[in-house]
Chains A and B, each alone.
Chain A
Amino acid sequence: QQQVKQSPQSLIVQKGGISIINCAYENTAFDYFPWYQQFPGKGPALLIAIRPDVSEKKEGRFTISFNKSAKQFSLHIMDSQPGDSATYFCAARPTGFQKLVFGTGTRLLVSP
């Protein structure tokens, strides 16, 4: 079964701190790993994505770290701001498929 496990379910971080969200996958070849941000009442918005031939990708305050051997990838949000408060989803594309498999989401709250 194609599955991506995401943790933690919820996260509270102080303003200026680092938010870290983790995802892991098993038994499936995936070749594209995006992270999406979703605000209440809105659709998911693509934040940053990585392919498995790269171990790290940084865009502004957002960094993806990818560990191919451990089948794990994580999102780091540096200098977290109250405006970052949202639900974050990791996802992965199974090789050969035209779909994304999503994690269950992490609700992030950045306290002022």
Chain B
Amino acid sequence: DAGVTQSPTHLIKTRGQQVTLRCSPKSGHDTVSWYQQALGQGPQFIFQYYEEEERQRGNFPDRFSGHQYPNYSSELNVNALLLGDSALYLCASSKPGQGFHEQFFGPGTRLTVL
């Protein structure tokens, strides 16, 4: 049973560029959440996708956007990259249905902005 997978593993971009990160949820899960983890910090919630729509959003600017596909996979897009966007981006999936369920994290994508 494959867990949450993310791609790419590492990414290097320059300021002002745009980036797309991808996530495939754990088998049987339909809800995907994205978190940003700065070095030495705990993960910070960006947003959650359910039924192909953004269900909730944390305190992140509109430069951060996402998408969920019918197969439940998801993308995180960040526009106009800033140095401060350098972080580990984590995807977490949870099982179907309304309400809150345990979140299972992927290995993350390490983004470095130069």
What residues of chain A have their CB less than 8 Å away from a CB belonging to chain B? 6, 31-32, 34, 36, 41-46, 49, 89, 91, 93, 97-105
Q: Which residue of chain A has the shortest Cβ distance to B105 in the bound complex?
A: A43
- Interface contact B56-A99, CB-CB below 8 Å: yes
How many chain B residues sit at the interface, stated as a range, is 20 to 34
- Interface contact B41-A105, CB-CB below 8 Å: yes
- Interface contact A102-B48, CB-CB below 8 Å: no
Which of B62-70, B77-85, B96-104 lies at the interface with chain A?
Answer: B96-104
- B42 CB within 8 Å of chain A: yes
Question: In the complex, which of the residues B55, B90, B100 contacts A32, with contact meaning CB atoms closer than 8 Å?
Answer: B100
Question: In the complex, which of the residues B31, B41, B102 contacts A104, with contact meaning CB atoms closer than 8 Å?
Answer: B41
- Interface contact A102-B43, CB-CB below 8 Å: yes
Rounded to whole angstroms, the CA-CA distance of A32 and B105 in the bound complex is 17
- Interface contact B100-A93, CB-CB below 8 Å: yes
